[in-house]
Structure 1
Amino acid sequence: MTANRGFDRGRPYGEVERAILSLSRSAIVRNEIASWPGYRPTPLRSLAGLAGSLGLAAVYYKDEAGRFGLNAFKALGGAYGVQRVLAREVSERADCPAPSGSDLIAGRHTDVVSRLVVTCATAGNHGRSVAWGAEMFGCRCAIYVPAVTSQARVSAIASHGASVFRTPGNYDDAVRRCDEDAHRQGRFVVSDTSYPGYLEIPRDVMQGYSVMVAEILEQLADGERPSHVFLQGGVGGLAAAVCAHLWETWGEKRPAIVVVEPHPADPLFRSAVAGRPTPVPGDYDTIMAGLAAGEVSQLAWKILEHGAEYFMTIPDAAAEAAMRVLAEGAADDPPIVAGESGAAGLAGALAAVQDTRARASLQLQSDSRLLIIGSEGATDPDSYSRIVGRSPEQVRCRS
């Protein structure tokens, strides 16, 4: 674990940050996403048994496994990015006001939308969200995945009618291949990572994630404000969206933000140590497939470089242990199904609580209230069963 030397609790959430993510745009995005079929807030579970066993006041777990039936929070981002791309293209090509998602779902602009192709690179969840959005709004979709992506995750993406292409190399190689093909074939990239010259759509995707944070703030009772938030890393989109929303809402009274990454895929940790975006060289093999990224998102880093207080890395074994803790349920806590990446935030929290130095640095005390984002369910059921020793269905039946 490392303290972020760029962190400044007294720094106001300013115009630079609001140009990326803002509460005002979050409200607009929520109104849009709430109009989609199947929208409902996901549960915020209070794990009192786990909190008691750790010597903490509370552990809150935002369970994203049921989000739009897609098994992950990314349903909020990728599909919203698709809607924004299509709305802009329809407005420009048909010389009309930008249509809402409801307009697109109703097929009011099929003549334009059906000719468009959206595309992205993914380790699984983001690509499924983009494919689902394309299916819902009526355009075509091409998804690129690293060669090591499990067949279960590929099949989930293809189930929404997308063409799926396995590419040699890692996630960042898939990003580059996707971008090259998109330029050559006139496709629209809907990525959750940003880089020079490509900022608008990733900003939309991250703003979609903020809907989840708005739900959390409504679900917390008075006096339940978290003191610490443990967030998955990856390219940084989720962590930045949560950090930004809490920073603008609560200012210097916001919780301590701790970003958690796999040992082999830690570009955010490296960037915090170096004080600038720093890629991970070579391959980065980890069971936390959704976090297997080697380069940070430019926009996400602009939020996290001053907003996140700590960065830490964990081994695969820690994620596996956290999956089993959630599946077992402490005391009267309900059993919860979480995938490898979904359990990473809790894995980081458990590691910090059990390490004397980290616990002291983070001031994890008897009055501490932890917020954990359960970012995914069992996106690869076979892998989940091998790790936990029970199938997702068996765990759910115990709740």
Structure 2
Amino acid sequence: MLIVNPTATRRPYPDTLRAIMNMRQAAESRAWLSTWNRFERTVTPLWEMPGLAHELSLAQVLIKDESVRSSLGSFKVLGAPIALLRLILRRFPERGFEPRSLLAGEHAQALADFTVISATDGNHGRALAAAAQSVGCGCVIVLHANVSAEREQAIAAYGARIIRISGNYDDSVHEAARLADEHGWTVVSDTSYDGYEAIPRDVMQGYGIIAAEALEALHAAPATSPFSHVFLQGGVGGLAAGIASYLWERYGEARPTLIVVEPAQADCLCQSALAGRAAKASGSVDSVMAGLACGETSPLAWRLLEGCIDYFMTIEDGEAVDAMRRLAQGRAGDLPLVAGESAVAGLAALVRVMGSPAQAAEMGLDRQSRVLLISTEGATAPGLYAELAGETATSVLERQRSWLQQR
């Protein structure tokens, strides 16, 4: 499904939205996280894929690889830790805490009785658990029935208490809110709901770092975007809002064409575009793209997305698996890349569009187009990755090392 967003505009970034999300706070978040010892790289690579560009008849395809920023293996490491830091600073203003010392664990004793809780499909919970462990506060993670044991173990490894429920992601969100009320814990969620916006805003703010780094890598001019098109994963809308708002603020009416992609059975953002308001998915939600298997749009994210996302798309699970294998193989001389099932949504959508001359023409994708894709995760569930990609992540990384040595 391809939906043209009737409310997308080409105008300067509104002040009302700048009060929610802005480049200044993204820069502040980046400075805070730069000192965290969980980071293996403070800046992730932006890979050019000339073989893929040639195959799809495009001028350029670039992939921002978020799998290598930390051992957590996903972009979520930019969101939950920032939200936790800002929460603690607001909650305990009299303590005079400083973000870098919090991440270094210097106030663990003072925070020992403070507990955060969240629902997750895997990566957000893992990032929150890691941040809580560094800070020294308690952490409870609610997992729904479809989260794999492999992902559960990865979260528990950071000391979080795990609570399992039946149902789907949205059920786990409601259960986390109930438990927080019951025990006096604080929800740190990446999705907003009535009366709950400050923390999801902070989560989204961290994702603007991805856009900032991509622009720096290309020495981007202030007034002209180096990308003509940017494909962004859907989910509840947080990642897309974090990156899209940054690009909109930076380039105003000259922003790139922005496309949001989600699984066909978890199409809450497409349904929001059709309804003109934050809406629920029309399908079962369950998808191999676990990180995007979300049934309800975040209302806060929608306020940012409704005016700047030009197209909303859905893809099938099989298309995501094909895209995983395409990147792993490093076709046409490109770098072999480990990209998880949710990481490849943008590529799967791009391949779909370029296979339809009418859709490509409608979206302005041609031999002059420069496309940015975000690989949001690596093999965060190594067993599942091997099953879907047809080889282990270790095997792909070995070929990647050989490729890099031969450059």
TM tier relative to shorter chain? over 0.9
Aligned mates of 1:25, 1:86 — CA distance in 2? 16
Q: Which runs of 5+ in 1 are unaligned?
A: none
Distance in 1 separating the partners of 2:73 and 2:106: 29
**Which of the numbers 199, 204, 207 marks the counterpart of 1:206?**
204
1:133 to 131, 134, 139: 131
Q: In 2 relative to 1, CA 168–129 (structure 1 residues): closer, same or farther, beyond 3 Å?
A: same
Q: CA deviation at 1:356?
A: 2.0
2:20 is the counterpart of 1:20 = yes
Deviation at 1:30, TM superposition (A): 1.2
> Partners of 2:153 and 2:257 in 1: how far apart?
38
Per the TM alignment, residue 252 of structure 1 is displaced from its structure 2 partner at its CA by 1.1
Match of 1:31 in 2: 31
| Residue in 2 that maps onto 1:319 | 320
Question: What secondary structure is seen at the aligned counterpart in 2 of 1:338?
Answer: coil
Cα RMSD (Å): 1.3
Q: Does 2:152 align with 1:154?
A: yes
| Conservation of the 8 A alpha-carbon contact between 2:233 and 2:260 | yes
The one-letter code of the counterpart of 1:229 is: V
Find the counterpart in structure 1 of residue 81 from structure 2: 79
| 8 Å CA contact retained: 1:36, 1:101 | no
Check if 1:182 corresponds to 2:180: yes
Q: In 1, Cα distance between the equivalents of 2:106 and 2:382?
A: 38
Structure 2: distance between partners of 1:28 and 1:40? 14
Kindly indicate whether the alpha-carbon contact (under 8 Å) linking 2:271 and 2:279 is maintained by their aligned counterparts in 1: yes
Structure 1 residue 166, shift from structure 2 partner: 1.4
Aligned to 1:266: 267
CA contact (8 A) 2:103 2:131 kept: no
For the 8 Å contact 1:320–1:340, the answer to whether it is kept is yes
Distance 2:206 2:104 in 1: 21
2:100 equivalent in structure 1: 102
Q: Contact (CA 8 Å) 2:115, 2:137: kept in 1 or not?
A: yes
Give the secondary-structure state (helix, strand or coil) at the position aligned to 1:30.
helix
Give the TM-score, by structure 2 length: 0.94
Distance 1:50 1:344 in 2: 15
The CA distance in 1 between the partners of 2:212 and 2:104, in whole Å, is: 27
1:335 alignment counterpart: 336
The 5 A counterparts of 1:1-399 are 1-9=2-10, 11-37=11-37, 38=39, 39-91=41-93, 95-97=94-96, 99-222=97-220, 225-280=226-281, 283-399=284-400
Moved over 6 A (4+): none
Mapped partners of 2:32, 2:74: distance in 1: 19
The percent identity for this pair of structures is 45
Unaligned runs of 5+ in 2: 401-407
1:19 offset after TM fit, Å? 1.7
Matched residues in 2 for 1:283 and 1:131: separation?
Answer: 28
| CA distance in structure 2 between the aligned counterparts of 1:46 and 1:279, rounded to whole angstroms | 36
Contact 1:90 1:112 in 2 (8 A): no
Give the secondary-structure state (helix, strand or coil) at the position aligned to 2:374: strand
CA displacement at 1:221 relative to structure 2:
4.1
User: Do 2:379 and 2:385's aligned partners in 1 also have CA atoms closer than 8 Å?
Assistant: yes
Checking the alignment, whether the CA contact within 8 Å between 1:85 and 1:188 is kept in structure 2 is: no
Are the aligned partners of 1:32 and 1:100 in contact in 2 as well (CA < 8 Å)?
no
Q: Secondary structure at the match of 1:307?
A: coil
SS of residue in 2 equivalent to 1:320: helix
- The CA deviation string for residues 141-198 of structure 1, in whole angstroms up to 9 with x for no partner, is 0001111111111111000000111111110100000000001101111100011100
Could you list the per-position Cα deviations for residues 19-51 of structure 1 after superposition, in whole angstroms to 9, with x for gaps in the alignment?
221011112111111121235101000011110
Deviations 1:312-332 (A, max 9, x none): 000000100100110011222
| TM-aligned CA distance change 1:230 to 1:107, over 3 Å | closer
The superposition leaves residues 48-107 of structure 1 with CA deviations (integer Å, 9 ceiling, x where unpaired) of 11101111010000001112211100000011111222222332xxx233x223212444
